Amino acid sequence: VRWSRRDGTTEGEIIINNIACWGIAMDKDRYLYISDIEKHEVRQYQIGQQNGTLVAGGHGKGVGLDQLNWPTHLFVDEHYNVYVSDTWNYRVMKWAKNASEGVVVATGFPRGLCVDSSENIYMADYGNHQLICWPKEAKEGTVFAIGDGEKDGTNQLYYPWGLSIDQHGYLYVADHSSHRIQRFPLKKD
């Protein structure tokens, strides 16, 4: 659904329907990327287009590099690489533009994810109550914020869900079951 920013507008406009959508992202050219958890795929849509172009998955549910299993959160970088939280395969997949298969770039219990300008991947590891940074081409990630559930300290997480990075070097976390948003500096001053 899309809403106008004009005053007095109270109705949205349905731009894509009949989709089991979970995640959504937009690239710098205003193309939408939508994850479909029933078709186990991600499609790119130009505004006004109904069918979209397959950009990740689309070969049924599975563990192959051309498959996804419950794709949820998405991130699209400045080079049009699509990062997908492939939830039930316990991995994050990176799909380059026009690729026929993805590459596993992180593992864990992924929910929210984002990528900085150095191509470091930040992942909310939902089931383990932690945030993990996967440097570009790293074989394993580094935990930089951890929780053990049901604690409310600023060093604790309880099912982290969504992530966002700002241009000032801060990572924002939707700390789902603690009912709050936390902010973490990514760079030491």
**Mean model confidence pLDDT for the chain:** 91
- Please give the C-alpha separations between residue 115 and each of 45, 85, 151, in angstroms, as whole numbers: 21, 12, 27
d(CA 124, CA 60): 25
Q: 51 and 101: one domain?
A: yes
Does residue 80 share a domain with residue 116? no
Statement to judge: residues 126 and 42 lie in one domain: no
The domain of 102 spans: 1-107
> How confident is the model over 123-146, as a mean pLDDT?
92
Q: Please state the length of the chain.
A: 189
3-state secondary structure (DSSP) of residue 131 = strand
Say yes or no: 116 and 187 in one domain: yes
Determine the residue type at 91. R
E strand or H helix that includes residue 162: strand 160-165
Q: Are residues 9 and 96 part of one domain?
A: yes
The string of DSSP letters for 20-87 reads -EEEEEE-TT--EEEEETTTTEEEEE-TT-SS-EEEEE-S-BSSSTT-BSSEEEEEE-TT--EEEEEG
Query: Is residue 25 over pLDDT 60?
Result: yes
Which one of 74, 107, 140 terminates a domain? 107
Instruction: Please tell me the pTM assigned to this model.
Output: 0.91
Q: How confident is the model at residue 102 (pLDDT cuts 50, 70, 90)?
A: very high
- Sort 49 into a burial class: Cβ within 10 Å, 0-12 / 13-18 / 19+: middle
| Of 106, 98, 115, nearest in space to 165 by CA | 115
Q: Which amino acid is at 13?
A: E
- Is the pLDDT at 13 greater than 90? The verdict is no
Structure confidence by residue, pLDDT tens digits, 34-88: 999 999 999 999 988 888 999 999 999 999 999 999 999 999 999 999 999 999 9
User: Any idea which of 7-16, 79-88, 93-102, 164-173 has the lowest mean pLDDT?
Assistant: 7-16
If one counts the domains in the chain, the total is 2
**CATH classification at residue 45:** 2.40.10.500
* 20 and 34 both lie in a single domain: yes
Do 40 and 66 lie in one domain? The reply is yes
